[in-house]
Structure 1
Amino acid sequence: MTRSFSNPMQHPDWIDPHSRAWYEQLAGEYGEYAYPWKSEFEEPRAEDTFGQLLAASIGENSRLLDVGCGHGDFLHRWAIKAKEAVGIDIVDAFIATANRRKPQQSYRFIAVNANEGLPFEDDYFDVVCSKKGPWLFRENNREGRRVIKPGGTVLHLMHGGTDGGLRALFPDLYTPVPAFDTNRSLQHIANHLELPGSGLSDIEIRIIEETEYLSRPVDVLIKKYFGQSRRLREQVWRERLKDIEEIFHKHVTSRGLKVTNLYYIVTGRAPA
């Protein structure tokens, strides 16, 4: 008999999100980093806000590095005017998809483990960005500071969690967390990214609360189990979908089940 797991992280197939194994499994199933659940958003979306900041930082002579580029869709949309746009990612399958889809020759996508050094010349990039990927400007990592030009722009988007009532409705799927505190959150991000030792100037952290409406009961599960194995998903669907449907339909709005996604946008500048 298959054992039931009310806590998904107790399942033997559970893989920690954003680990190397998680990305490899995701790439093996989809070939890209794209969200499979159905939802709609109130504008502006956090990723669009980040993309607009990126586009505004790029000139016709700019060289751009996207760290943790996934399948390249973000660069395709926002870096079209760059002289050269380079995306790196640790997952070979993501890079293969990105190179198949690249819109022009000024784009390059390379499989690179950013923690083991970067295959670029010193002072090569005008802009270094990362959308939920690795942060290259920790105190003991000189690679980010090495490859960016003096005065270059750094942009980083971090996902800070999902709630908006989702954790209260489904506490066995989404662990309850303390009430949001702006000062505590900003300090946590500064410490997590080691911003005081980053060597960057003009550092700013912007908090964005993004409102999303999940379209169907199953989307609650798809969102939670994104990147997990098919076997784990099928077991949870059998055991939990009926309960999820009851809660979903009790609280759904005309647009869907309202949730809030928290993001941080960090910007800075390399010393001139």
Structure 2
Amino acid sequence: MGVEWYDMIARRNGGYRSNAVFTIDGVSAEQIYEERLAGMLPAFDSVLDAGCGHGDFTIKMSRHAKSIIGFDNSIEMIKIAESIKQDSKVNNVDFIYATTKADLPFSNGQFDFIYDRRGPTSIINHSRILCSGGTVFGIHTGALTTVKERLHNNGFINIQIEEFNSAVIYFPNETEFAKFISGMPGNPDYTDPSLSKELEMKIEENMINGKLSIKEYRYIWKANKP
């Protein structure tokens, strides 16, 4: 999946926004992560949001932080983020277009905290920008083995990983389900009538006890740089 998909989502939806209607049974790991992150941020001076997308979450977290820089590999997402920033009038956030596929435009040890909310797990390979004693904190849906390997290979310590799979997302109808999965990374627009057969297959795969639903799987991880 290339950056073209993220640019397309930015242009089509105005970022990672979805107007899909759904309910969640159980406590979402996303909620747990957000609450923990908000509680951690005040203790740090220089924070990096790795894979900030269209920036609304960065802006939301800025009320808890002294300073945040958000970067993303989609120039279209960064354009939207800058617009949201101007409207919000926050003064402790900056957005930068950058990719972990190249050397990041930050100095050695610039940040004492990096958070990665379903962003690029390859941020772990850029440990030079995190100061000694700094913390990295993330949440993801896949690539658990890769994250473990990268944390160990880059010398991180105090590694903590928690898996969550008890929450279930329920959809009232097929239309709302199609909207939701269309925003998942790499997915096509399942609301397009030409993809009706593909949508039917997805619906069949996601029936739990006769209800259209998706079981939420996330893992939250945390580590320190020695």
TM range (shorter): 0.7 to 0.9
**Partner residue, 2:151:** 195
Determine if the alignment matches structure 1 residue 45 to structure 2 residue 28: yes
Residue of 56, 73, 78 corresponding to 1:73: 56
Q: What amino acid is the match of 1:42?
A: D
Please tell me the root mean square deviation across aligned C-alpha atoms, in Å.
3.0
CA distance in 2: counterparts of 1:118 and 1:128, whole angstroms? 13
Native 8 Å contact 1:52 1:78 kept in 2 = no
Determine if the alignment matches structure 1 residue 235 to structure 2 residue 194: yes
CA distance in 2: counterparts of 1:119 and 1:107, whole angstroms? 16
TM-score, length-normalised on structure 2?
0.83
Give the structure with higher Rg (CA): 1
- Report the secondary structure of 1:34's partner residue: coil
**Partner residue, 1:265:** 220
TM-score, length-normalised on structure 1?
0.70
Change (3 A) 1:244 1:228: closer
Determine if the alignment matches structure 1 residue 204 to structure 2 residue 167: no
CA distance in 1: counterparts of 2:198 and 2:35, whole angstroms? 42
Native 8 Å contact 2:48 2:114 kept in 1 = yes
Moved over 4 A (4+): 227-232, 238-241
Alpha-carbon shift at residue 221 of structure 1 (Å): 3.0
CA distance in 1: counterparts of 2:60 and 2:26, whole angstroms? 17
How many aligned positions are there?
219
Residue of 123, 148, 163 corresponding to 2:109: 123
- Report the secondary structure of 1:59's partner residue: helix
What are structure 1's unaligned runs of at least 5 residues? 1-15, 161-184
Q: What amino acid is the match of 1:206?
A: E
- What do residues 23-55 of structure 1 show as CA deviations (whole Å, max 9, x unaligned)? 121112122112342211135322221112222
What are structure 2's unaligned runs of at least 5 residues? none
Q: Which aligned pairs between 1:7-22 and structure 2 lie closer than 5 A?
A: 16=1, 19-22=2-5
Native 8 Å contact 1:137 1:198 kept in 2 = no
Alpha-carbon shift at residue 136 of structure 1 (Å): 4.0
- What do residues 154-185 of structure 1 show as CA deviations (whole Å, max 9, x unaligned)? 0111113xxxxxxxxxxxxxxxxxxxxxxxx9
**Partner residue, 1:155:** 137
Q: Percent identity?
A: 25
Native 8 Å contact 1:57 1:153 kept in 2 = no
**Partner residue, 1:217:** 174
**Partner residue, 1:166:** none
Alpha-carbon shift at residue 61 of structure 1 (Å): 5.2
Q: What amino acid is the match of 1:262?
A: Y
